Amino acid sequence: MKSLLVYLKDYKKESVLGPLFKLLEASFELLVPLVMASIIDKGIANGDRGYVVSMCLVMIALGVIGLACSLTAQFFAAKAAVGFSTKLRHALFQHIQSLSFTEMDTVGTSTLITRMTSDINQVQSGVNLVLRLFLRSPFIVFGAMVMAFTIDVKAALIFVITIPLLSIVVFGIMLWTIPLYRKVQASLDRVLGITRENLTGARVIRAFGKEKEETERFCQSNQNLTTIQMYVGKISGVMNPVTYVIINAAIVALIWTGALQVDAGNITQGEVIALVNYMSQILVELVKLANLIITVTKAVACANRIESVMKMKSSLEFNSKETPCREENGHKAEEMIIDKNDDRSEKMAVEFRNVSLRYQNAGDDSLRNLNLKVKRGQTIGVIGGTGSGKTSLVHLIPRFYDVTEGAVLVDGRDVRSYSLEELREKVGMVMQKAVLFRGTIRDNLAWGKKDATEQEMYRALEIAQALEIVRGKKDGLDFMVEQGGKNLSGGQKQRLTIARALVKSPEILILDDSASALDFATDAKLRHAIRDMEGDTTVFIVSQRTSSLQHADQIVVLDDGEAVGIGTHEQLLKTCPVYQEIYYSQFGDEEKRQLG
């Protein structure tokens, strides 16, 4: 929690003035019972109407001044709280952007969304209430006790007993509920996670008729959340009746003691009324303080959850300059700057050296002992069964993940020696799932290259076989794409994402099963256009179709994380059983007989 307070540093003035004006308001409020006592003892007792009217005007003045102070305090507190949450939200979003895929996989999208929205809103409410009430409520509680001592010491002893009792109740319940509120937020995360899964996978759920099971799963998680919230609510709900019982018992004792003191002539009737008013003020403020503590408890729990994300460091460390070698993941990395005289790295655009990869918390390696050399301008196909490690292989090139053992080299340098910008500038990546953002087609293409000209965009669209999409739209490049590309078909989205990657003319182009929604004719045109591109672009194509890969310079066949075959289409058909099985399952026994 403490580390987050740094985002309040630009609001020091508001953080001081807010509580200060609240204390001023409280000071005027503490004067009201004394004015009331004066009205009763002097004005009403003596029948002096003029005095009563003048004192009533004083009370009105105190109320107006108190209102002005309260509004001013409210303004400063709100400004500080909103500004704090805005800065914190920006910082959290920026930090999340710096995390690697490993942390994203570990924490989960729904959890990060909860931290960005619900948790920060709760912290904002906590900061607002603290600035307004954290000093005011204790000030009035102890101020009322002090004022009671100025009236009558014997009666004031009731305050001395009452305030500690109330404090025990309030703070005891607070300590009880703090860990429970953490459980509430964790349960809320689970509900949000299930909700997100059901919304994003609605079509799959309906296709398999799983509505009933998913409804039951959601109801179970929601019921768990409801149960723990009701339990915490019951504990918190005990606070108000217990505090009211204590306060009202104190008021009864106060009236009894006051009556005896009045009979003895030690205090006046107006002073008894003032003492009762002070006790009522204590009641109101302690109820406010109790609610404040509940809100602050939630805010602290949420702040700790936000802080845990802020303290999370990316497992990938990018260098600002070249370094010769270093320790990485418990294994000594390969030389990051490869000697130009080393024949192994000569003209190699990408090289995998004894690469193994194990995802965090995984039980086994996803890739094992992979060796591969790729010359500049070559086209590499990657094929294998589901879960064989195809995507894992290509994700190592832009360094979405770090190798567990071995090294991945780009242009003869270990990818761990590159800065983030330098490495990603070399690579154009098209993911398995085509993702487009809300905005025009032009805006989406500009993600590949910020200052891309229309000529460069049209060239990329032509290669990606997406030119007809733009020409078929009335607004052309200014056609508005909805969030996620909902107003485009699957094939259109895939072609536009390929065009986005091609706009910057990358040295290495990775197509991760990004043509799965295309028909065979369009897929063939796309491959030919990519092969005929200007420059020596190295292309990695991940596909389930052997027809998409058979013209590649090399094809890597993966099976359970191991490269069981590397070679051309013809070579693999003769030597690799896994490739043969995939190929013949797609082209049938007739093709097998024709090939002998």
58-67 per-position pLDDT tens digit: 989 998 999 9
Alpha helices in 311-440 (DSSP H): 390-395, 420-426
326-344 CB burial, b ≥16 within 10 A, e <16:
eebeeeebbbbebeeeeee
Are 445 and 452 in contact, with CB atoms under 8 Å apart? yes
Alpha helices in 134-210 (DSSP H): 136-151, 153-200, 202-207
The single-letter DSSP state of residue 337 is B
Q: What is the pLDDT of residue 156?
A: 82
Query: Could you count the other beta carbons within 10 Å of the beta carbon of residue 402?
Result: 18
**What pTM was computed for the model?**
0.71
With a pLDDT cut of 90, the percent of the chain lying above it is: 26
Q: What is the pLDDT of residue 203?
A: 87
208-257 per-position pLDDT tens digit: 998 999 999 999 999 999 999 999 888 878 877 887 888 888 888 888 88
Q: What is the pLDDT of residue 344?
A: 41
Structure tokens at 223: 């019921």
Checking if the pLDDT of 451 tops 50, the result is yes
Q: What is the pLDDT of residue 85?
A: 92
pLDDT tier at 320, thresholds 50, 70, 90: low
523-560 per-position pLDDT tens digit: 888 888 988 887 788 999 998 888 888 889 999 999 98
Q: What is the pLDDT of residue 347?
A: 67
Q: What is the pLDDT of residue 541?
A: 92
How many residues are given for the chain?
596
Query: Could you count the other beta carbons within 10 Å of the beta carbon of residue 507?
Result: 19
Q: What is the pLDDT of residue 593?
A: 46
Say which residues have a Cβ less than 8 Å from residue 19's Cβ, sequence separation at least 6.
73, 77, 131, 132, 134, 135, 136
Query: Could you count the other beta carbons within 10 Å of the beta carbon of residue 482?
Result: 12
Checking if the pLDDT of 346 tops 80, the result is no
State the average pLDDT over residues 114-133.
Answer: 89
Checking if the pLDDT of 345 tops 70, the result is no
213-221 CB contacts, 8 Å cutoff, 24+ apart: 218/191, 218/194, 221/187, 221/190, 221/191, 221/194
Are 347 and 375 in contact, with CB atoms under 8 Å apart? yes
Q: What is the pLDDT of residue 334?
A: 42
Are 74 and 132 in contact, with CB atoms under 8 Å apart? yes
State the average pLDDT over residues 146-167.
Answer: 83
Which range has highest mean pLDDT (54-58, 139-143, 169-173)?
A: 54-58
Are 275 and 213 in contact, with CB atoms under 8 Å apart? no
pLDDT tier at 508, thresholds 50, 70, 90: very high
Are 319 and 418 in contact, with CB atoms under 8 Å apart? yes
Q: What is the pLDDT of residue 1?
A: 64
Checking if the pLDDT of 475 tops 50, the result is yes
pLDDT tier at 594, thresholds 50, 70, 90: very low
135-150 per-position pLDDT tens digit: 888 888 888 888 888 8
Are 304 and 126 in contact, with CB atoms under 8 Å apart? no
Q: What is the pLDDT of residue 78?
A: 93
Structure tokens at 19: 């509580």
Structure tokens at 529: 């256009």
State the average pLDDT over residues 352-380.
Answer: 89
State the DSSP string of 78-140.
Answer: HHHHHHHHHHHHHHHHHHHHHS-HHHHHHH-HHHHHHIIIIIHHHHHHHHHHHHHHTTHHHHH
315: number of CA atoms within 13 Å, CB side?
18
State the average pLDDT over residues 88-111.
Answer: 85
Phi, psi (rounded to 5 degrees) for 52: -60, -45
DSSP-derived pairing of the beta strands 379-384 and 554-559: parallel
37-73 CB burial, b ≥16 within 10 A, e <16:
bbbbbebeeeeeeeebeebeeeeeebeeebeebbebb
Checking if the pLDDT of 328 tops 50, the result is no
Checking if the pLDDT of 158 tops 60, the result is yes
DSSP helix, strand, coil percent of the chain (3-state; round to 5) = 65, 10, 25
Q: What is the pLDDT of residue 521?
A: 87
Question: Would you call 532 exposed, middle or buried from its count of C-beta atoms within 10 A (0-12, 13-18, 19+)?
Answer: exposed
The per-residue pLDDT of the chain, averaged, comes to 84
Q: What is the pLDDT of residue 381?
A: 93
pLDDT tier at 383, thresholds 50, 70, 90: very high
486: number of CA atoms within 13 Å, CB side?
4
Alpha helices in 388-482 (DSSP H): 390-395, 420-426, 441-445, 454-463, 467-471
Checking if the pLDDT of 325 tops 60, the result is no
Q: Which of 189-193, 288-292, 406-410, 591-595 has the lowest mean pLDDT?
A: 591-595
Give dist(CA 587, CA 593) in Å, integer.
Answer: 11
Q: What is the pLDDT of residue 332?
A: 43
Say which residues have a Cβ less than 8 Å from residue 47's Cβ, sequence separation at least 6.
none
pLDDT tier at 87, thresholds 50, 70, 90: very high
- Please choose, from the candidates 548, 522, 587, the residue with its C-alpha nearest in 3D space to the C-alpha of residue 381: 548
Checking if the pLDDT of 513 tops 60, the result is yes
Q: Which residue has the tokens 């672009």?
A: 537
